[in-house]
């Protein structure tokens, strides 16, 4: 027992969990079995700390065709048009090895969407790093992550159309790399099931090697302790060429009706689909590890069963048609081998060298992982933090503060990042990176999917529930600004260690906040991912729920942009401004270096009214521009419309906000606000429509000229634009344009 | 009579669907040809689309030039047939020796996906006939290796004979002489780094790409009529 005990701890299992395995098996596990349990019972694969709470999320609605539990959620976009939508994290691998960590993050989410029988057509990345002005490693990580996304996403031919990049010291030791993928279904959804005993399991794709052993367990399911470069072998290495072939081959297999089930191999390797597909269907599987095509000789059976080598899918097919499956894969130049057979006995039995090396009930691996109701404690420091000065003192010089915000890495032009991504392939990118939300016209149709990601970490640090509500509201508002109707949410919940009672409290609050906001806005959660252990030693990241909002725009030609459109257009501000929304604000962080107070409160009913007003105004072609007002307040939102268009503006901020103090009118971050423009003669209509919809609206000024003028401060647009565009490249190693 | 266009795909090509949609939209009949084919099915125009043929392993186009279909492409070109290589297709044609020069890594050593302006350097070719001399077109580029290079004497001969078709207004990648597109000496094989198929719909940012595809189809139609 003593060596075994040491072994299970090395594999990331607790003593209690080891005892639970012994109980379920009625005996000590074999080495291979222990390895299989260690990955399937890892936090990353089993959601053992989060499942109890995730049940509180709303997951149903008429638009939801497939909810959480499959490879990706499936949402009806229009009659006969369905899309798959899912987000996932690859935080730990990307910190240890940024290029391959980020690249395989893209690969993994693409296969999730592919497993639904959907063609992946858009990617978004939600990234968090430590301050670029700080340690060189922060810059190295950003450059590596961008290079990884670029090399992989471009090569597989899926456009990267949006996302966000944000900076805070809390991410210095634990960066976040969350990748969302949208796919369009060509027929009914595929599923990850193996319902018919006698069917065969075909492993399609790259050969299995020793890379990524323990990626789910020793890497993704523990906090960092420093010196984590030693974990580099647990990071997988991606081959985008193989992934591209895998996409085409799998879509052709699905289209040809050759498959009964399909699942990708990600965390947990072959063990994951072998147990999940069967456990979900009441069947079992006999796996022959000797049949698995391998990258290197002398691999142990346990290595084959838990290797996280990339670019692999497990397909379930009728034995009578398996020759067609193999032939099709061969035509695409993809290795494919029959590695197992579905059995009526609900067990996962692994054969190697004519011996049985593992024989365990499929549900014990997939469904019966321990379920923890971990202790939670509201942090004592929260009240003190809420009562502390929130950083709303006026700046020495308003124009300087405004410029400082616009050229901070947070708001600086991100072109350096997104120009490295193919964001145009598939001819659907009506609005791409740099917009509030990506507008992706579906192939051969007028209808567009509209996508946005948001995750305000600082708000969530001050109040996880209020912050999560703000995240959902902002993502919905971004989508609504294009004229689209928000439909459904995928979420990636990034937090510290669930074994920390305060983190666990934050997690429960975040879930409740999302549940409340998604219910109010009618946007059910169709799936997502929980990433715990984003901590180094005792230092955890801010709770960072990243919300991926999916909306629908019936006609892509009616999409409203976030840049000013024409000189002379009238500017209106929709939504009321409160003078004191500075807790967790960009102004407080950038100008005063302060993070304290209360985050802004969201009025969800008002958000819903605002969204339907925007939808109506866009359909009537009244709006010439609509831009969400969030981080940095109204002054930053107005400047962004100008910087993206090259058109200045003149606005009476006091009239637009009914707030007297200039810096409060400029930088307060009251949610529920949008900068909207229209032709001058349409302004009365716009204001009337807003009044009728119960949305406060105020005429604010006019578009045009070479200056950005908010009354109390003026900036010359050309000079600011140069500084805004240069800010990010000048912080990075290479400034060659 | 509609033009029959063959789109040649290699494992790892990824712009073949976009090219097909655009060519069909312009009235062409499109056949897709896999890289292991040995004939092109009697087509009037061959398009080598963008992407990462064979993963761009070794270097872009270096493996694709050995694909069986390239013999058929060479035969088609030798008999005067029209061939157009876009982005990765341009790289393949250079590696295959059907076009002079090579495409090196971008001067900034980063991938670039960006709208650029190119000026029509010679409007008297099968690719550019619908455009006016010196006309500026708005097209997207999307590449890591688009930095065109060729030896000085070949460049001199290309210039003299009007074999430079498109030049960047603001050179994004360090290309020699700001070259964005060229054709062979016989004037029937074209290579260009910008993606005209992504610029055939004003909703996406430009319709200028249709001028280039339209020119190619006109030229192919001329051949069909003969």
Residue B31 contacts A, CB cutoff 8 Å: no
Whichever domain contains B14, its CATH number is: 3.40.50.880
Kindly report the average pLDDT of chain A as a whole number.
94
pLDDT value at position A231?
A: 66
Min CA distance, B112 vs chain A (Å)? 5
Report the share of chain A in percent with pLDDT over 70: 96
* Better pLDDT: B221 or A212: B221
* Dihedral sign from CA coordinates of B51, B55, B61, B66: negative
- A426 in B contact zone (CB under 8 Å): yes
Q: Kindly determine whether residue B57 and residue A151, on different chains, have CB atoms separated by under 8 Å.
A: no
Chain B contact present for A239, CB below 8 A? yes
The residue range of the domain holding B112 is: 4-225
Of the pLDDT bands very low, low, confident and very high (cuts 50, 70, 90), residue A449 is: very high
> In this complex, do B18 and A239 lie within 8 Å of one another by their Cβ atoms?
no
Rounded distance between C-alpha atoms, residue A626 and residue A644, angstroms:
12
Where do we find the tokens 């062409």?
B28
How much is the pLDDT for A224? Answer: 77
Mutate: best of B9, B10, B14, partner A, most A CBs <10 A: B14
CB contact under 8 A, B142 and A427: no
- Report DSSP state, residue A397: -
B112: chain A residues, CB-CB within 8 Å: 419-420
pLDDT at A671 exceeding the cut of 70: yes
Q: What's the full length of chain A, in residues?
A: 737
Mutation choice for A interface testing from B9, B10, B12, B25 by most A CBs within 10 A: B12
Give all domains of chain A, ordered by start, each with its CATH number. 1-41+190-369 (3.90.650.10), 399-412+560-737 (3.90.650.10)
Distance (Å, whole) CA B68 – CA B66:
6
**pLDDT reported for residue A260:** 97
Interior/surface letters A268-288, b for 16+ CB within 10 angstroms, e for the rest: bbbbbbbbbbbbbbebbbbbb
Q: What is the mean pLDDT of residues B11-37?
A: 97
How many whole angstroms separate alpha carbon A188 and alpha carbon A265? 22
Q: What is the pLDDT of residue A232?
A: 61
pLDDT band at A184 (very low <50, low <70, confident <90, very high): very high
In which band, very low, low, confident or very high, does the pLDDT at A733 lie, cut at 50, 70 and 90?
Answer: low
pLDDT of residue B222: 86
pLDDT tens-digit readout, A159-178: 999 999 999 999 999 999 99
A418, A424, A736 member nearest B140 (Cβ): A424
- Mean pLDDT across the stretch A393-403? 98
Residue A523: helix, strand or coil by DSSP? coil
Mean pLDDT of A481-506: 97
Tens of pLDDT, residues A513-551: 999 999 999 999 999 999 999 999 889 999 999 999 999
Does B114 reach chain A within 8 Å, measured CB to CB?
A: yes
- B12 with A419: Cβ contact below 8 A: no
A441: contact with B, CB 8 A cutoff: yes
A229 pLDDT more than 50: yes
Q: How far is B55 from chain A (nearest CA, A)?
A: 5
Please choose, from the candidates A125, A220, A134, the residue with its C-alpha nearest in 3D space to the C-alpha of residue A166. Answer: A125
Report the largest interatomic distance among the alpha carbons of chain B, rounded to a whole angstrom. Answer: 46
Identify the pLDDT of residue B225: 45
Give the closest-approach CA distance of B186 to chain A in angstroms. 32
**Catalytically annotated residues of B:** 87, 195, 197
Residues A693, A629 contacting (CB under 8 angstroms): no
Question: Do strands A623-629 and A673-678 pair parallel, antiparallel, or not at all (unpaired)?
Answer: antiparallel
- The pLDDT of residue B1: 72
Predicted confidence at residue A735, as pLDDT, reads 41
- Best of A148, A424, A448 to disrupt the B interface (most B CBs within 10 Å) is A424
Question: Of the candidates A244, A444, A557, which has its C-beta nearest B12's C-beta?
Answer: A244
Q: How confident is the model at residue A1 (pLDDT cuts 50, 70, 90)?
A: very low
Residue A219 banded pLDDT, cuts 50, 70, 90: low
- Would you state the pLDDT for residue A47? 92
What pLDDT score was predicted for residue A625?
98
pLDDT grade, residue B44 (50/70/90)? very high
Query: For the ranges A279-288, B95-104, B215-224, which has the lowest average pLDDT?
Result: B215-224
Nearest residue of B to residue A427, measured between CA atoms: B198
Q: What are residue A170's phi and psi, to 5 degrees?
A: -70, -15
User: Whole-angstrom Cα distance, residue A611 to residue A364?
Assistant: 45
The answer to whether the CB atoms of A426 and B108 lie below 8 A apart is no
Banded model confidence at residue A2, pLDDT cuts 50, 70, 90: very low
The count of domains in chain B is 1
pLDDT tens digits for range A335-380 = 999 999 999 999 999 999 999 999 999 999 999 899 999 999 999 9
Asked whether the ipTM of the predicted complex exceeds the cut of 0.95, the reply is yes
Q: A332 touching B, CB under 8 A?
A: yes
Q: What percent of chain A has pLDDT over 90?
A: 89
A423 and B198: CB-CB below 8 Å? no
Taking CA atoms, A139 is separated from A95, A150, A295, A413, in Å, by 12, 16, 34, 16
pLDDT at position A3 over 60: no
Model confidence at B224, pLDDT cuts 50, 70, 90, reads low
A90 pLDDT band, cuts 50/70/90, is: very high
pLDDT at A396 over 50: yes
Mind listing the pLDDT tens digit for each residue in B108-157? 999 999 999 999 999 999 999 999 999 999 999 999 999 999 999 999 99
A734: pLDDT strictly greater than 60: no
Q: How confident is the model at residue A512 (pLDDT cuts 50, 70, 90)?
A: very high
Structure confidence at residue A39 (pLDDT): 93
pLDDT of the residue at B125: 97
Contacts of A532 (CB under 8 A, 6+ apart): A43, A49, A50, A221, A495, A496, A497, A498, A503, A507
The pLDDT of residue A210: 86
Confidence of residue B41 (pLDDT cuts 50, 70, 90): confident
Category of A298 on φ-ψ map: left (φ > 0), alpha (ψ -120 to 50) or beta: left
| Interface check A618 vs B, CB under 8 A | no
According to the model, what pLDDT value does residue B226 have? Answer: 38
Q: Does B197 lie at the interface with A, CB-CB under 8 angstroms?
A: yes
Q: What is the pLDDT of residue A69?
A: 87
Per-residue pLDDT, A9:
87
Does residue A95 surpass a pLDDT of 90? yes
Residues 389-418 of A with CB under 8 A from B: 418
**Binary contact (B111, A426; C-beta < 8 A):** no
Model confidence pLDDT, tens digit, residues A699-719: 999 999 999 999 999 999 999
Mean pLDDT of A593-600: 97
Confidence of residue A737 (pLDDT cuts 50, 70, 90): very low
């Amino acid at each position: 027992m003593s060596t075994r005990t040491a072994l299970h701890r090395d594999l990331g299992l607790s003593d209690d969990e080891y005892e639970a395995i012994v109980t379920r098996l009625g005996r000590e596990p074999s080495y291979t079995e222990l390895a299989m349990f260690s990955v399937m019972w890892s936090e990353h694969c089993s959601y053992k700390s989060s499942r109890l709470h995730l049940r509180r999320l709303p997951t149903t609605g008429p638009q939801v065709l497939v909810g959480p539990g499959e490879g990706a959620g499936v949402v009806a976009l229009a009659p006969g048009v369905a899309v798959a939508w899912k987000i996932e994290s690859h935080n730990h691998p990307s910190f240890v090895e940024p290029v391959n960590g980020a690249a395989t993050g893209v690969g993994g989410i693409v296969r999730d969407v592919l497993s639904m029988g959907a063609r992946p057509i858009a990617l978004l990345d939600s990234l968090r790093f430590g301050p670029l002005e700080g340690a060189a490693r922060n810059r190295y990580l950003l450059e590596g992550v961008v290079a990884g996304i670029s090399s992989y996403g471009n090569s597989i031919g899926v456009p990267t159309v949006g996302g966000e990049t944000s900076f805070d010291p809390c991410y210095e030791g634990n960066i976040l790399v969350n990748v969302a993928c949208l796919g369009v279904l060509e027929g009914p959804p595929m599923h990850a099931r193996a319902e018919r005993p006698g069917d065969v399991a075909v492993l399609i794709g790259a050969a299995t090697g020793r890379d990524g052993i323990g990626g789910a367990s020793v890497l993704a399911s523990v906090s960092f302790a420093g010196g984590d470069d030693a974990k580099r072998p647990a990071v997988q290495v991606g081959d985008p060429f193989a992934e591209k072939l895998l996409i085409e081959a799998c879509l052709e297999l699905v289209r040809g009706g050759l498959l009964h089930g399909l699942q990708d191999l990600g965390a947990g390797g072959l063990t994951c689909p072998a147990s999940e597909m069967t456990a979900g269907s009441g069947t079992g599987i006999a796996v022959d590890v000797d049949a698995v095509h391998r990258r290197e000789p002398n691999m142990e059976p346990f290595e084959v069963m838990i290797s996280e080598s990339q670019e692999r899918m497990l397909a379930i097919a009728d034995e009578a048609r398996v020759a067609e499956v193999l032939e099709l894969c061969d035509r695409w130049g993809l290795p494919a081998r029959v590695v197992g057979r579905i059995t009526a006995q609900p067990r996962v039995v692994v054969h190697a060298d004519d011996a049985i090396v593992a024989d365990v009930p499929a549900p014990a691996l997939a469904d019966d992982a321990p379920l923890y109701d971990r202790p939670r404690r509201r942090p004592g420091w929260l009240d003190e933090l809420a009562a502390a000065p929130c950083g709303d003192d006026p700046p020495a010089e308003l124009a300087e503060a405004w410029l400082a915000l616009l050229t901070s890495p947070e708001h600086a032009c991100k072109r350096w990042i997104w120009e490295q991504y193919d964001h145009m392939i598939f001819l659907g990118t009506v609005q791409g990176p740099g917009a509030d939300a990506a507008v992706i016209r579906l192939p051969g149709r007028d209808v567009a999917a509209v996508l946005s990601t948001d995750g305000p970490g600082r708000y969530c640090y001050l109040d996880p529930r209020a912050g999560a509500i703000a995240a959902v509201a902002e993502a919905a508002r971004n989508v609504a600004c294009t004229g689209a109707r928000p439909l459904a949410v995928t979420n990636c919940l990034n937090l510290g260690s669930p074994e920390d009672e305060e983190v666990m409290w934050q997690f429960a609050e975040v879930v409740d906040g999302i549940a409340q906001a998604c219910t109010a806005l009618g946007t059910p959660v169709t799936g997502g991912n929980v990433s715990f252990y984003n901590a180094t030693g005792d230092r955890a990241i801010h709770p960072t729920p990243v919300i991926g909002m999916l909306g629908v725009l019936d006609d892509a030609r009616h999409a409203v942009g976030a840049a000013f459109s024409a000189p002379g257009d009238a500017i209106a501000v929709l939504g009321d401004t409160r003078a004191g929304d500075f807790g967790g604000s960009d102004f407080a962080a950038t100008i005063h270096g302060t993070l304290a107070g209360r985050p802004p409160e969201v009025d969800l009913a008002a958000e819903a009214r605002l969204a339907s007003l925007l939808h109506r105004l866009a359909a009537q072609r009244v709006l010439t521009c609509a831009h969400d007002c969030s981080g940095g307040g109204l002054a930053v939102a107005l400047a962004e419309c100008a910087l993206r268009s090259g058109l200045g503006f003149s606005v009476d901020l006091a009239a637009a906000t009914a707030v007297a103090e200039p810096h409060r009118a400029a930088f307060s971050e009251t949610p529920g606000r949008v900068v909207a423009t229209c032709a001058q003669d349409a302004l009365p209509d716009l204001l009337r429509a807003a009044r009728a919809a119960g949305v406060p609206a105020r005429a604010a000024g006019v578009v045009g000229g070479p200056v950005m003028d908010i009354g109390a401060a003026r900036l010359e647009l050309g000079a600011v634009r140069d500084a805004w565009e240069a800010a990010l490249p000048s912080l990075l190693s290479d400034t060659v344009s | 009579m509609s033009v029959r266009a063959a789109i040649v795909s290699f494992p790892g090509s990824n712009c073949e669907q976009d090219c097909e949609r655009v060519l069909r939209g312009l009235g062409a009949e499109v056949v897709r040809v896999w890289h292991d084919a040995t004939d092109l099915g009697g087509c009037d125009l061959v398009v080598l689309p963008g992407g990462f043929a064979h993963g761009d392993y070794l270097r872009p186009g270096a493996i694709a030039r050995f694909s069986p279909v390239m013999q058929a492409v060479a035969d088609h070109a030798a008999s005067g047939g029209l061939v157009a290589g876009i982005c990765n297709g341009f790289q393949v044609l250079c590696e295959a020796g059907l076009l002079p020069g090579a495409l090196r890594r971008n001067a900034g050593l980063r991938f670039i996906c960006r709208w650029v302006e190119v000026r029509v350097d010679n409007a008297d070719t099968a690719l550019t006939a619908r455009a006016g001399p010196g006309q500026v077109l708005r097209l997207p580029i999307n590449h890591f290796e688009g930095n065109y290079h060729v030896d000085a004497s070949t460049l001199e001969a290309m210039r003299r004979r009007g074999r430079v078709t498109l030049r960047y207004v603001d050179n994004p990648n360090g290309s020699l002489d700001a070259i964005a597109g060229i054709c062979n000496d016989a004037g029937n094989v074209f290579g260009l780094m910008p993606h005209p198929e992504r610029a055939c719909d004003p909703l996406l940012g430009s319709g200028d790409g249709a001028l280039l595809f339209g020119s190619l189809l006109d030229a192919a139609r001329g051949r069909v009529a003969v």
